[in-house]
Structure 1
């Protein structure tokens, strides 16, 4: 399966249902016997016996041997990918955007999507080298919110100017020159509620690229206590999303 082409895997009934509601079409289903009844309403959407979509049902231990992992909530669907939207389509009317730069941990990518969806971020952009948001683990950790938020993969990064053209203030969640606290950044948003914010999050350990830090408008840090000097990138993102949520 190639990123952005072909198929991806959706795991659990809730995630599969969200994918279908977002317009993704299943290629096939695999599930344990005990999940067939709960999955039946989803299967029936595609006609009697799921139409021409194969449904494979088996013993959980055999399924685990076939897939190489334990199915969570007993159901797996191979789904056809859709063409990714353009940058312009994704950015559209957005006022809160997150850019994920070169994060290769699928769990973190999925968690960022979940926090972004919950905390009113409008869209997600991923860098050319970022992990695939539709990788099975990313999708599962996101609880299917990857299907609810508009997102696309950038052809080049950094491209701060493209965000500036759409009126965004680009803020890196990182230490850099003239770093300000998230508290102060939030106060500025209170004073200027129409400000459009694009957050840039980088990989743990290496952080954001030096040229990204040089190009952004602000570097923002989260004040911390008890001698703690950092947070997991998904947790840090959630804090920033909440502090910069839209002012109505």
Structure 2
């Protein structure tokens, strides 16, 4: 059972994993160096532990202890009990969900392992917003996607904001990073997938037409600002667009992913 440890000082070194959570650059360095990620909220903490991730520690206000009592009963990691005011002082924001956990990261699996047995996958190029990555993972998990591949510059699916928006889908939907940006799509095609690039460029097929009858499908989506690079758009097997009413030229990448996943599920 987790040991409950009351902590009263914000500078207590035992709380180091939870400091300055709003500082994205600092957190990237800290989490990579220590091999950890954070889960926020009772549901997300529970889903992380149930998915087999090893807790390093928990940080909770006292009123949240009962809600996670079963999780704490099966863990040997310490649970630091703090006031909500102290939690805000340490993390830099109001922890309105009352519970945080620091968990060990796992090594990322090879691309071939993630693609094995998959029928529908998402391939993301330079999606740099953590909220978008989390929303994409959640939509993919809900709408039948089997795996997600991320280009090297994509945001981290295990960053706290991504995990929170995904509601823990990042723990169950297989994903990994592509080691090489330049030949990423030819690699996916060589694995037996038809790569379909979502774009607003002229000449793209309507999405339903582009995916109709396909077996193994890779939906390819680009960055929030400029969409897919010329390299990736040219390398894709097909180009597709989501038909929209006049005057609207595009959707947010997370919304476009949800539409594309829904259409792909019914192909």
Both proteins in one fold, TM over 0.5 = yes
Deviates more, 1:82-91 or 1:65-74: 65-74
Q: Which has the higher contact order (CA 8 A, sep 6+)?
A: 1
Aligned residues: 237
Cα offset, 1:180, TM superposition:
0.6
Report the Cα offset of residue 155 of structure 1.
0.5
> Post-superposition shift, 1:72?
4.0
1:182 and 2:207 aligned: yes
The DSSP-based 3-state class of the residue aligned with 1:139 is: helix
Match of 2:228 in 1: 208
TM-score (norm 1): 0.91
Contact 2:207 2:263 in 1 (8 A): yes
Corresponding position: 1:28 with 2:52: no
Q: What residue number does 1:15 align with?
A: 44
The 5-angstrom pairing of residues 134-145 of structure 1 reads: 134-145=158-169
Distance 1:64 1:107 in 2: 21
Correspondence for 1:57: 81
1:38 paired residue among 67, 73, 78:
67
Contact 1:177 1:219 in 2 (8 A): no
**Residue aligned with 2:74, SS:** helix
TM-score normalised per structure 2: 0.85
Give 1:239 shift: 0.1
Residues 57-66 or 221-230, more deviating? 221-230
Deviation at 1:166, TM superposition (A): 1.9
- Give distance in 2, aligned partners of 1:168 and 1:95: 8
Distance 1:106 1:199 in 2: 19
The whole-number CA distance in structure 1 between the counterparts of 2:191 and 2:234 is: 20
**What do residues 3-59 of structure 1 show as CA deviations (whole Å, max 9, x unaligned)?**
49600001111111111122110001001111011111100012xxxx3x1211111
Taking only aligned residues, the RMSD between alpha carbons, in angstroms, comes to: 1.6
> 2:24: which partner in 1?
none
- Determine the C-alpha separation between the residues in 1 that align with 2:115 and 2:94: 37
Compared CA separation, residues 3 and 176, structure 1 to 2 (3 A)? farther
Distance change (3 Å), C-alpha of 1:95 and 1:4: farther
Say yes or no: does 1:164 pair with 2:185: no
Whole-angstrom CA distance in 2 between matches of 1:133 and 1:4: 17
Deviation of 1:240 after TM superposition, in Å, equals: 0.4
- Structure 2 regions of 5+ residues with no counterpart? 1-29
1:52-88 Cα deviation digits (max 9, x unpaired): x121111112211110112242100000001111111
Could you tell me whether the CA contact under 8 Å between 2:210 and 2:239 is conserved in 1?
A: no
Which of 84, 88, 91 is equivalent to 1:67? Answer: 91
| Structure 2 residue 109 is matched with structure 1 residue 109 | no
**Residue in 1 that maps onto 2:260:** 240
SS in 1 for 2:123: strand
Deviations 1:130-178 (A, max 9, x none): 1111000000000000001010011002422221222111011113363
Q: Flag structure 1 segments of 5+ consecutive residues without an equivalent.
A: none
Residue 148 of structure 2 contacts residue 173 of structure 2 at CA under 8 Å; is this kept in 1?
Answer: yes
CA contact (8 A) 1:32 1:75 kept: yes
Is the Cα contact below 8 Å between 1:9 and 1:77 reproduced in 2? yes
